[in-house]
Structure 1
Amino acid sequence: MQRKVFSSKVYLHKTVLVTGGCSGIGRALVLRFAQAGARPVILDLDQAALDSLVQHLQQHLNVEALGLRCDIADPEAVRQAVALAVERFGGIDVLINNAGITHRSLFAETDLKVFQRVMAVNFYGALHCTQAALPSLVARQGQIIVLSSLTGFAPLLYRSAYNASKHALHGLFDTLRMELDGTGVAITLACPGFTATDLRKNALVGDGSVIRQPATVLGSEVASPRDVAEAIYQGALRRKRLLVLSNVNWRARILARYFPRLFERLLVPRMSGLKPGPR
């Protein structure tokens, strides 16, 4: 385990915008940065959850926070939300592109609208938020943290749209990092493995409806959102370029990189959990 950087108030009075911030890793990140003195701006679709989290931050951590209902797939809604955040707190120091959705279905049985929705949230949502926040981030020499996935190097079965969206994030933000060289803006791509969140519980199927039964993960330990958030926080302190937090061990990653056919035959079915249900 890496040695932690102990800095209780490194982000004191820094504004940290987190998308999908009311549950799972997003919520854990909001709480972790708030503990370090940050002022969270939380974007989510669940107004009741936003109100509850903002109240919790105020009452238990004495932290000023702003919760905004926002569909990050809508660029105009994102622009308005970022403008409100800048008006309230003066700017944005850290942008955490966390929000995401997934699906579980065979490519041949997946409607185009599923691909479009997954890309709209996972890829374009991050793009919209980054474009809107970039002037402030450059002015403050801030940070962009992008939640990718183990699928960035080890694709899972029945997740073609999800896998594609994560590869697209790497292409976008690796390029942006080069373009921002010299500005002082740091970009971190974080790749968690299997994590106990609602992402899999709310997966889409091929026709666009939501799976009611959660997928199982075979042969892998499931990380807690709190542990993943702590690892991302520690990486942010160091302004790391890439964080591979996957609980798929290093042998599996080497197999995926250098012996892809063997990896696909032996490990991908096991990692991918249950086969997709009937259409």
Structure 2
Amino acid sequence: MTNMSFTDKVILITGASSGIGATTAIYLSKQSAKLVLVGRKEGHLKKIALYCEKANGIKPLPITADLTEDAEVQKVVQETIDHFGRLDVLINNAGVIEMGGIKKSNMEMYDKVMGTNMRAVYQLTMLATPHLIESKGNIVNVSCVWSTKPSTMALAYNISKAALDQFTKCVALELAPDGVRVNAVNPGFVKTNLYNDTGLTEEQVDLFMKNVTSQTPLKKMIEAVEVSALIAYLASDNAKSITGGCFPIDNGRLLQ
């Protein structure tokens, strides 16, 4: 196996201001990557960019953007190419969750979730594709185990991740002749601030996490850095024969 160095590789990460995105940015900075960090929270983004710069001495390009706005998605790709001149890896990580099934739902919830979790991914990938073909690069999408495991907790979110898995496979098939690989990671519950944005209190989130942990075969939480390590592996030359895969990292949750 080759080592996992990303020297001279330009990697674009969405949702990079917190959670899995921020952890992945720091993880990849330690592998000498040139990073484009995209997020909505400018302050957080700059903080993560500083961490990354300290890790490898390479200044990341932070881009504050709302990926539900078409013009801002175009801006992200344009600024990446203007700044670094190339793109090697696209990590579609930005995502939102809304709790509730069909009985407690509305179309605003549906549009918000699908807009970020699927439409923005579709557009960003579409615009990045010519550059990834040029670099023989690859894409890693951050999906979820709930894409295939039915639950009643977050209907719109689960649908968006099911769509993302199919998107991953279709685009992998289409871009394989161009030498571009496309894969997804499908985490179970990772302790990030994603769940704090659902309207639940800190105590409710902790109780929720304890319940979830007790239900998984390995009886533990997933650390964000574990997901980052899987993303890095799939993005690296070590995974040069892997495309179209959706890889669970879920403490065995799908076994039940």
TM-score calculated relative to the size of structure 1 = 0.82
Listed one character per residue, the Cα deviations across residues 184-220 of structure 1 (whole Å, up to 9, x for unaligned) are 10001111111011111112xxxxxx33444313223
Q: In 2, distance between residues paired with 1:176 and 1:40?
A: 23
Q: In 1, distance between residues paired with 2:89 and 2:55?
A: 22
Q: How does 1:75-90 map to 2 (within 5 A)?
A: 75-90=70-85
Q: How does 1:90-239 map to 2 (within 5 A)?
A: 90-203=85-198, 210-213=199-202, 214-215=204-205, 216-217=208-209, 218=211, 219=214, 220=216, 221-237=220-236, 238-239=239-240
Q: Which amino acid aligns with 2:11?
A: V
SS in 1 for 2:189: coil
Q: Which amino acid aligns with 1:52?
A: K
Q: How far 1:6 moved relative to its partner?
A: 6.7
Q: Which amino acid aligns with 1:95?
A: L
Structure 1 residues 249 and 212 mapped into 2: Cα distance closer, same or farther (>3 Å)? closer
Counterpart residue number, 1:262: none
Q: Which amino acid aligns with 1:188?
A: N
Matched length: 241
Q: How far 1:250 moved relative to its partner?
A: 5.6
Which consecutive residues of structure 2, in runs of 5 or more, have no partner in the other structure? Answer: none
Is contact 2:87-2:131 (8 Å) kept? yes
Counterpart residue number, 1:12: 7
Is contact 2:141-2:184 (8 Å) kept? yes
SS in 1 for 2:195: coil
Structure 1 residues 60 and 251 mapped into 2: Cα distance closer, same or farther (>3 Å)? closer
Q: How far 1:174 moved relative to its partner?
A: 1.2
Listed one character per residue, the Cα deviations across residues 203-250 of structure 1 (whole Å, up to 9, x for unaligned) are 2xxxxxx33444313223211111111122123321433222122346
Higher helix share: 2
Q: How far 1:60 moved relative to its partner?
A: 3.6
SS in 1 for 2:103: helix
Q: How far 1:59 moved relative to its partner?
A: 2.9
Q: In 1, distance between residues paired with 2:144 and 2:43?
A: 28
Is contact 1:72-1:128 (8 Å) kept? no
Is contact 1:73-1:128 (8 Å) kept? no
Counterpart residue number, 1:245: 249
Correspondent of 1:33 among 8, 25, 28: 28
Percentage of identical aligned residues = 23
Listed one character per residue, the Cα deviations across residues 130-186 of structure 1 (whole Å, up to 9, x for unaligned) are 012111001111010000100122122221100100011122221111111210100
Is contact 1:8-1:35 (8 Å) kept? no
Q: Which amino acid aligns with 1:20?
A: G
Report which of the two structures shows the higher radius of gyration computed on alpha carbons. 1
Q: Which amino acid aligns with 1:235?
A: L
Q: In 2, distance between residues paired with 1:25 and 1:155?
A: 23
Q: In 1, distance between residues paired with 2:127 and 2:156?
A: 25
Q: Which range moved further: 69-78 or 59-68? A: 59-68
Structure 1 residues 108 and 55 mapped into 2: Cα distance closer, same or farther (>3 Å)? same
Is contact 2:67-2:73 (8 Å) kept? yes
Q: Which amino acid aligns with 1:211?
A: L
Q: How far 1:7 moved relative to its partner?
A: 1.8
Which consecutive residues of structure 1, in runs of 5 or more, have no partner in the other structure? Answer: 204-209, 253-279
Q: In 2, distance between residues paired with 1:188 and 1:8?
A: 17
Counterpart residue number, 2:53: 58
